[in-house]
Amino acid sequence: MSLMATVAAVMEWVVQVENGGLLNVLFANLPTNSQDPQFTLAEGGVSSVLDFLINMLKLEPLSLPILEAMPESLGGGVAGVNNANAHPNRESEILWITTGLLGTIIILIIVLQIINYCCCCCGRRNRHLNRVQMVAVDTDFEHRNLVCRITYITLSVIALLFVAASVILLAIYFSSTGLVVSYLEAHPQTSTPNPTSLPDGLQATVKYLSIFIESGIKSGQKLTNKSLDSFDRQTNKNISLGLHGVISNLLDYLKAPGIVEKGKSNLDAIKNCSSNADSSSSMMKNLKTPITDVKNRVAETKSMYKKEFDKIKHCNGTCEDLKKGVEQLQSPIDPDKLTDGDMDTLVRELDGIHNDLAKQQEKLQTAINDTQGSADQIIASLKKELNLQQILSTVNEFWPRVETQSKELVQNIGNAIEPITAQVSQGAELARITLYSIGGFFIFMVLIAILISVRLLYRGVRDRLYGDPDDVSVGSSLNKWDKLACGKCSACCCSVFFVPVLLIFGILVGVLLFVLTTISGEGCIYLSRESAVNKTDFVMNSLVAEQWGSILGDTSGNGDSLLNASPPRNVLTALMKTCAYAEDQAIVGLFSAMKYENLVDMKKLVNSQKVQDGISSGRVTAVKQVKDLQIATKLPTEADLNKAMDKLVAAINAVKLGDLLNATDPELMNTKPLSELHGRLEAFQKPDQIQSSADFAEPNKALKAMIDFIEKLRPQVESLHGVIKAVNDGKDRLLSPFGGFIEALKATTSQASNESALEWQVGSQYDRVVMELTSFMEKDGSELFAQLTQELLPCREAHEAYSAATGATCGGVNLLLGFVHVLALNVLFLVFLYFALFNLAFFQGVLIGMSAEEEEEEEEEEEEEEEEEDSSSGDDDESEESDESTSSSSVSVSSESSTSDEEDDSE
């Protein structure tokens, strides 16, 4: 992770301006009259790329035609080009920095080698140090020993740090090598959901792309068919409702519903009147017998009273009044007046009129039903003329074309990937051998460095070179292991070895860093960084627009396709961001992710020639259907209507119910006067009032029975009177409504006979329905297909394919870039490590030499002191001993010189 973070930081430093990078050489701007630029693949791609890279290395202003064609909002235009050339990206600086560092190190090695050779190999003294070391030893300054110890400890720490760093870098190298080799090898059995190798990533791209296309097209066809069926059903439903409304409005125009209601009302009134008349006739027949009985009882009662009154000789006063009252008794209703002949006649006439009117009503209803039934024929005709299924089938044809082109795309990608994966897999083994061989070389160099550092540290610890000079071991001197810094075989050979190795590795690392950094900074960021992907999308929009017509199937340019003609935009942004949703989140369709609101252009559908022709043909059919109905011929004729009216008038005028109403007046059945008479008669029959043999008990009893019987009949008379009154009132009320019905029917017949007005009415109503229908198709249809567009081609698999492709390629580039950085650091730190070790060995030799010189000086001082002591014993002895000491010193120096020459020769 830290390695990739380092690579990311380096790339942030490298990329100063998103100048379009390789887009400027892979694509060309075509001349066009359109405001939007049009791009195509550039010819001579390899040579153009090489020229682009050479100009980058030369640090010359780059030709950026694609960036110049972009709008300024994307950082393009002339200002964008000027800014990009004013702040060029630093891929070339990576190469020049690497080359400069390489040259500096090589020059430093050569200079040091020259100095070391001149001082170490060309001149000798009778001491065990080279000239540089001798200068360091002979230099005398204050606190020399302290400074030298601090310097020695510092050099030791630096050497150990470089050893530790080299070991750590060596471990990182092998870890990076494992990642690189794993990246190059295929792992078909891996259970990792995200592929980590180039072959697996490329195969995963094809896999995810195939799944996306297969599942997307399958679900897309299903959703499209479902949406088309739903739209067809809803449209047909609206057509049916609308055209039924046309016929309904036509009938309203003819006032047919009102006439039907009036007809029903008149039929009900006639039927009600006839029923009442029939009921009154029956009631009169039932009431005539009891009324006749009342008449008989009255006569019998009068006879009984007459007989008793005749027994009274002097009947005056009250008697006379009661006698006259009895004589005036009569039946309240004359049964002879209860004749049902008029009622029966009225019933027959009304029933006849009712039957005639029912036939006319049925004829009217038949005409209405036929008119309403014509709506189904008009609907069927309009559906046939519109033929939405056939028109909308062009939408369904989108999927076979997409499937064909998608399969070709997947096949082409698969064919392109197969040789790449095969070559990568073949090269993976060679890469493994090469990279691990380099690692073995690094291990060898680090092991040698570790052995040298261990030897140096051992000598320093043994002789206590890091401590006080007084504590340095006596007899310390340079041996053949201590002469690594000065020996011809060590210093010269290491220098000769490091120069070509550094040259090879430096060139290799520099070129790799430049190429990989260029691929990442000028190519990969335009597939992964959001702001840079916008530039790629700008170019891709033109390429997609160029192919969109063939996908729509409107290559002829005649505009027959109902699909939205505007091509999708910002495909890569959609794949990278919008389609990156989790499985438990709402599905996002690819078209929706590309800000596509509606795949189907409903306005284009409504305004299409086929739909407009179907609507026009439907209008003609609707008018013709209504005209062919000949509604006026199916309505009752005026003669029939007048005949029915005359018949009703005659029937009503023929029946006079005034006498019958008077005869059945319920007030005639009022028994109060009879009851009063009965009371007076009851009082009159008392003994003190009757002075004769007259006995009114039986007559009074008969009168009382008659009064009770009349009271019993009174409700029946009241009912009969009410029914007769209802008949009388009803028949009088029949004429006006019936006349209104006849006049309305005549008016309807007249309107139905006016064909031009009828045609205009049907046409205007049809146009209104068509306006509502087209509004529905545009609004509701757009909403329906907008929902379809939201769900079409769930693009999560497309995002996985895109991620797999970019991860396998650009992710691998960053991995290789990180590996090259690790390789460069290993080489660099190995060089620094050996320089540190040679410096430590050099300075350790200085310290050892200094300790040796101090020992010699101490020996010389001791000899001088001994000579001074001996000089006091006598001049002769002194001169003799002095000669012997001089001779001994000469022999000692000669011996040391001889030994030194032998050791130098042995080196």
The first and second tokens of residue 498, run together, are 């490091």
Model confidence band, residue 691 (pLDDT cutoffs 50, 70, 90): low
pLDDT at position 443, please? 92
Cα–Cα distance between 755 and 761 in angstroms, integer?
A: 10
| pLDDT score of 333 more than 70 | yes
Q: How many CB atoms lie within 10 A of CB 185?
A: 19
Q: What is the mean pLDDT of residues 439-456?
A: 87
pLDDT digit string (tens) for 227-259? 878 878 888 888 888 878 887 887 787 777 787
Instruction: Decide which of 857 and 805 is more confident.
Output: 805
Angle (CA) 575 579 582, round 5°: 145
Range from 266-280, 480-494, 813-827 carrying the lowest mean pLDDT: 480-494
What's the mean per-residue pLDDT of the chain?
76
Per-residue pLDDT reduced to its tens digit, 572-604: 888 888 888 777 777 777 777 777 777 777 787
β-pair type (27-30, 38-41): antiparallel
What secondary structure letter does DSSP report for 30?
E
> Is residue 196's pLDDT more than 80?
no
Please choose, from the candidates 176, 156, 181, 173, the residue with its C-alpha nearest in 3D space to the C-alpha of residue 825: 173
Per-residue pLDDT, 891: 37
Task: Answer positive or negative: Cα dihedral of 206, 210, 213, 215.
Answer: negative
Residue 453 has pLDDT above 70, yes or no: yes
**Half-sphere CA count of 568, side-chain side, radius 13 A:** 22
CB atoms within 10 A of CB 755: 14
**Residue 354, pLDDT score:** 82
- The candidate with the shortest Cα–Cα distance to 763, out of 642, 616, 652, 636, is 616
pLDDT attached to residue 906: 39
Residue 64: other Cβ atoms inside 10 A: 23
User: Which pLDDT tens digit goes with each residue over 882-906?
Assistant: 444 444 443 343 344 334 444 443 3
Q: Find the mean pLDDT for residues 803-815.
A: 78
CA dihedral 690, 695, 696, 702 (to 10 degrees): 180
pLDDT tens, position by position, 863-883: 776 666 666 554 545 444 444
pLDDT at residue 167, rounded to an integer: 92
Largest Cα–Cα distance of the chain, in whole Å? 237
282-301 pLDDT, tens digit each: 888 888 888 888 888 888 88
Report how far residue 647's alpha carbon sits from residue 790's, in angstroms, rounded to the nearest whole number.
Answer: 73
Q: Is the pLDDT of residue 853 over 80?
A: no
Tell me, what's the pLDDT at 904?
Answer: 43
What are residue 41's DSSP bridge partners?
Answer: 27
pTM equals: 0.63
Label residue 715 exposed, middle or buried (CB < 10 Å: 0-12, 13-18, 19+).
Answer: exposed
Q: Residue 168: its pLDDT value, please? A: 92
Burial per residue of 395-422, b for 16 or more beta-carbon CB atoms within 10 angstroms, e otherwise: beebbeebbeebeeebeebbeebeeebe
Top-confidence residue, 194 or 342 = 342
**Is a pLDDT exceeding 80 seen at residue 115?**
no
The tokens for 826 are 């290993």
| pLDDT, average across residues 360-383 | 79
Distance CA 353, CA 277 (A): 14
